[in-house]
Structure 1
Amino acid sequence: MHVESDGAFAIDIEQKLPPRQLMLFAFQHLLALTGIWIFPVLIGQALNLSTVEVGTIIQACFLTTGLVTILQSGRMLRLPVVQGPTAVFFVVLVAGAHSYGLGAAFGSMAVAGVIFALLSLPIRGWALLPRLAPFVSAPVVFGTLLVIIGGQLAGIGLPNWFDGDGSGGIGFISALTCAIVVLISIIFGGNTVVRRGALLIGIVVGSILHIFVAGIDLTPIRETPLLQIVQPAPFGLGVAWPLVGLMLLAYVQAGSEAMGMYSLLARWGGQSLSRGRIGRGLFGEFVGCAIGALFGGLGTTSYAENVGIIRVSGVGSRWVTMTAGICAIIVGLIPMFGILIASLPSTVLAAASTILFGIIAISGIQMMRDVVWDELNLMVAAVSFIVSLGCAALPAALFSGKDPIVQGLFTQPILVGIILLMVLQVVVNVLIRPCLERKANSAAQEMGDQTIQGTVE
């Protein structure tokens, strides 16, 4: 069945472009994958990893991003979907690595990905996760969750502007330069590649200034081969079942966000989106994430920035996004590139992450503009927001002697927020709201009958 398009695409989903235009639009999509440039380095800083180890994660993230994007743009989903590392996997991975080690964190991510891939299999047109979408993908749920994510990650950005790498005042100056360049690029970049790549441009300018004044150690780059395939299980491999449970929550968030993007792109392209097709898309996403995790790659989800590029440019061709995925895999085969990113000044990356996390939070606020803010939705959002952020300030003595993963669960706002939002959404809006509406309609009907009867009398 064909669905009427709303005219968002000047270039249709199935339309191919000349090679030069294909590469230009594909490169534009890669610039928007901000998480792939920042999250691996932040993981390295949080876990005290070496430059080479961070470079390995960066390589694996590019490979994961490329694989999942190709599967989504290809036969699995056949939509122009671009996927990249997401904040929720970043938080869960760091928390799990502190408790069980990085190898167990990546292994648990792979196991959780396989579980969700099986749950999304479109057997006879029936898939579990697409049926759950109406319960977990409401704007009040994911809008609030994005605000919570921004709030939790705020402490990673600004505090690290100051002498984060022992370079003295130049660290702060390079961070400030990065931030100013990003803001100028966003404000004056228009609907061009300058605005889409604003964070990357800011990182490059800030890093050049820093390197020019303070220098950079090129030894790891010189000692790295030009081409090299990431080896499986670079940090070892293990499975911690409590951590698998946390990873499942992260996949719920990533999958639900992806389903929202599927629906939006399909509507713009005038295509039908059956549950079976959604199931194939989710299957491709989860399988790709599981494979990527085995090589040290972070789990992915669909990027709103890339959907924005498609909307502004009108280029909805899935061949463009498939090309972006191929380019990501090629970059993932060049270890020098990963080492170079891992060697960038930490203060510059802190400045870029400050803006990125702010954008994440404000995107949540934008998403909630469609919410009808009655008392029920206020309870879903308000309780989840304040309780989840408050968990980060719980006294350490409360968890004394408890399993580290229990402490990680109840002190991580993102994880607490996911659980609270989904539970309250189902209880309040799926169970309680219909009962209250039936009661109100019954009372209104009864009052109307009494009015009619009084008039007759």
Structure 2
Amino acid sequence: MNLNSLGTREQLKDPNYTPPLGKAIPLGIQHVLAMFVSNVTPAIIVAGAAGFGFGSNSPDFPNMIYMIQMSMFLAGVATLLQTIGFGPVGARLPIVQGTSFAFIPIMIPAVAGAGVAGMAGLMTGVIIGGIFHFFLGFFIGRIRHALPPLVTGLIVLMIGLALVKVGIEYAAGGIPLKGKPEFGSLVNWSVALVVIVVTLLLKFFTRGMLSVAAVLVGLIVGYFYAMLLGKVNFAPIASASWFTAPEPFKFGWEINWAIIVGMCFMAVVSAVETVGDVSGITKGGAGRESTDKEISGATFADGLGTALAGLFGGLPNTSFSQNVGLISMTGVMSRHVVTLGALFLIICGLIPKFGAVIASMPITVLGGGVIIMFGMVTAAGVSMLADVTWNRRNMVIFAISLSIGLGLQLAPDALQHLPKMAQVLMTSGLLPAAVISIVLNLVLPQELD
């Protein structure tokens, strides 16, 4: 797209500028394509862990469709909070909000099997965590120093390491097939590999929209391949309605302190991630530093968006870093472009048939996509750690935090004598690694060499 036809260089750097509508709409949809798969994937994973089923034969399968809908609808609403805002809420910048991967290691054990919280406890935790996140906006600047790249990079790395197992299990056929001959079959792996190969070809050998939406197109190709293999059930699509409204407290209300503590802690991490995204947008799109008002407004919107998500049966929201890169790539800083993308998400989120199509995707297709996405989360953590000065102090902090966090994740039985609440918080590996790294970073003296 010719940038000269969109406006002058100064106009393109202005968040309040609106390009011609005929060009603004495709740019807005491009933002949606860049984040779409990452946005709906957490809902599919958590719904699957809760037993809502991938086979579409489960009586709870409509709940998965609903959660997918809400991931789109509430991402759109949260994005509007950022781009349009009200009062102190919102950065008034082109920030795209979406469902966060970071919370998955805490959410899965909360709802899987017997779970410690169930969906009611999880959604209550999301609401309270979102409210806590909102109040971080009043003093986010004061806690940034406690989360340098050593800590944030380790946390992101731990998130990725906690998730990569999920991608392999999905590609092999999903947890329900474990122990059966079909698990890990060549047919299952072929579907996942089609997604991976198509994604890589598009990402590195095409440009423009195809490259930006490589994972989405890879999933679509994998979906059609699975359809040829007879692995797609279209019955839920036919039975899904054309419209449904968000339902408050869809899954109920139940206080569970393990989930609440976990959500509040991860809110701090998510808030710092958003600060980084706001800074990336203003630097990449406008060539300036972000203001304190923009950072606090973005944090307010982050928290409010998450609280609203929990209220209507959605999952925690955060700013999407891939869209920050897209702004740098296109050079278009207009918040109104992102607003148009948000409206598109809201419309999709109100149409259950759209969610049913996504929910009908075989788990092996999703496996190919999440292998890439979760691997990229891990790689992002490594990239953040590249900014760390690797002296003895920082190496010790990293070594102890990673060893304990990853070790507890791999050997959860080591904490079998702890109360159930403590087990959920500790065996994710994420929280102990984060707490240890933050505390050690604050108390150990800096080295002079």
TM-score normalised by L of structure 1:
0.86
Q: Do 1:117 and 1:286's aligned partners in 2 also have CA atoms closer than 8 Å?
A: yes
Q: In structure 2, how many angstroms separate the alpha carbons of the residues matched to 1:298 and 1:358?
A: 21
Look up the match of 1:26: 28
Look up the match of 1:321: 338
**Residues 3-152 of structure 1 mapped to structure 2, 5 A cutoff:** 10-33=12-35, 34-49=37-52, 50-75=60-85, 76-97=90-111, 98-120=115-137, 127-136=138-147, 138-152=148-162
Equivalent of 2:234 in 197, 218, 226: 218
Equivalent of 1:305 in 314, 317, 322: 322
- The code of the aligned residue for 1:228 comes to T
Q: In structure 1, how many angstroms separate the alpha carbons of the residues matched to 2:429 and 2:22?
A: 45
The alignment status of 1:237 with 2:253, answered yes or no, reads yes
Q: In structure 2, how many angstroms separate the alpha carbons of the residues matched to 1:346 and 1:324?
A: 27
RMSD: 2.1
Q: In structure 1, how many angstroms separate the alpha carbons of the residues matched to 2:358 and 2:39?
A: 10
Cα gap change, 1:143 to 1:119, in 2 (>3 Å): closer
User: Which deviates the most, 267-276 or 296-305?
Assistant: 267-276
Q: Partner of 1:358: helix, strand, or coil?
A: helix
Q: Partner of 1:214: helix, strand, or coil?
A: coil
The alignment status of 1:199 with 2:215, answered yes or no, reads yes
Q: Partner of 1:239: helix, strand, or coil?
A: coil
Q: Do 1:92 and 1:250's aligned partners in 2 also have CA atoms closer than 8 Å?
A: no
Q: In structure 2, how many angstroms separate the alpha carbons of the residues matched to 1:334 and 1:395?
A: 40
Q: In structure 2, how many angstroms separate the alpha carbons of the residues matched to 1:367 and 1:16?
A: 34
The alignment status of 1:381 with 2:383, answered yes or no, reads no
Look up the match of 1:448: none
Q: Do 1:249 and 1:418's aligned partners in 2 also have CA atoms closer than 8 Å?
A: no
Q: Partner of 1:132: helix, strand, or coil?
A: helix
**Cα offset for 1:333?**
0.6
**Cα offset for 1:417?**
2.4
Q: Partner of 1:301: helix, strand, or coil?
A: strand
**Cα offset for 1:271?**
5.0
**Cα offset for 1:220?**
1.6
Cα gap change, 1:118 to 1:161, in 2 (>3 Å): closer
The alignment status of 1:408 with 2:424, answered yes or no, reads yes
- Deviations along 1:18-64, whole A, 9 cap, x unmatched? 12211211111112223223211111222211331111111111122
Q: Partner of 1:181: helix, strand, or coil?
A: helix
Cα gap change, 1:365 to 1:397, in 2 (>3 Å): closer
Q: Partner of 1:232: helix, strand, or coil?
A: coil
**Cα offset for 1:270?**
4.4
- The code of the aligned residue for 1:135 comes to A
The alignment status of 1:248 with 2:264, answered yes or no, reads yes
**Cα offset for 1:215?**
4.6
User: Which deviates the most, 7-16 or 27-36?
Assistant: 7-16
Q: Do 2:105 and 2:162's aligned partners in 1 also have CA atoms closer than 8 Å?
A: no
Q: Which has the larger radius of gyration?
A: 1
**Cα offset for 1:131?**
1.6
Q: Do 2:159 and 2:378's aligned partners in 1 also have CA atoms closer than 8 Å?
A: yes
Unmatched tracts of structure 2, length 5 or more? 1-8, 53-59
**Cα offset for 1:8?**
11
Q: In structure 1, how many angstroms separate the alpha carbons of the residues matched to 2:293 and 2:62?
A: 42
Look up the match of 2:243: 227
Q: Do 1:96 and 1:405's aligned partners in 2 also have CA atoms closer than 8 Å?
A: no
User: Which deviates the most, 9-18 or 349-358?
Assistant: 9-18
- The code of the aligned residue for 2:100 comes to T
Q: Do 1:26 and 1:323's aligned partners in 2 also have CA atoms closer than 8 Å?
A: yes
Q: Do 2:12 and 2:334's aligned partners in 1 also have CA atoms closer than 8 Å?
A: no
Q: In structure 1, how many angstroms separate the alpha carbons of the residues matched to 2:414 and 2:329?
A: 51
Aligned length: 418
Cα gap change, 1:17 to 1:395, in 2 (>3 Å): closer
Q: In structure 2, how many angstroms separate the alpha carbons of the residues matched to 1:17 and 1:177?
A: 38
**Residues 275-290 of structure 1 mapped to structure 2, 5 A cutoff:** 275-290=292-307
Q: In structure 2, how many angstroms separate the alpha carbons of the residues matched to 1:255 and 1:88?
A: 12
**Cα offset for 1:222?**
1.5
Cα gap change, 1:61 to 1:395, in 2 (>3 Å): closer
**Cα offset for 1:264?**
2.2
**Residues 388-399 of structure 1 mapped to structure 2, 5 A cutoff:** 388-394=405-411, 396=413, 398-399=415-416
Q: In structure 2, how many angstroms separate the alpha carbons of the residues matched to 1:267 and 1:94?
A: 36
Q: Do 1:146 and 1:363's aligned partners in 2 also have CA atoms closer than 8 Å?
A: yes
Q: Do 1:253 and 1:418's aligned partners in 2 also have CA atoms closer than 8 Å?
A: no
- Deviations along 1:267-304, whole A, 9 cap, x unmatched? 34245534343222211110111011111111122222
Q: In structure 2, how many angstroms separate the alpha carbons of the residues matched to 1:148 and 1:115?
A: 23
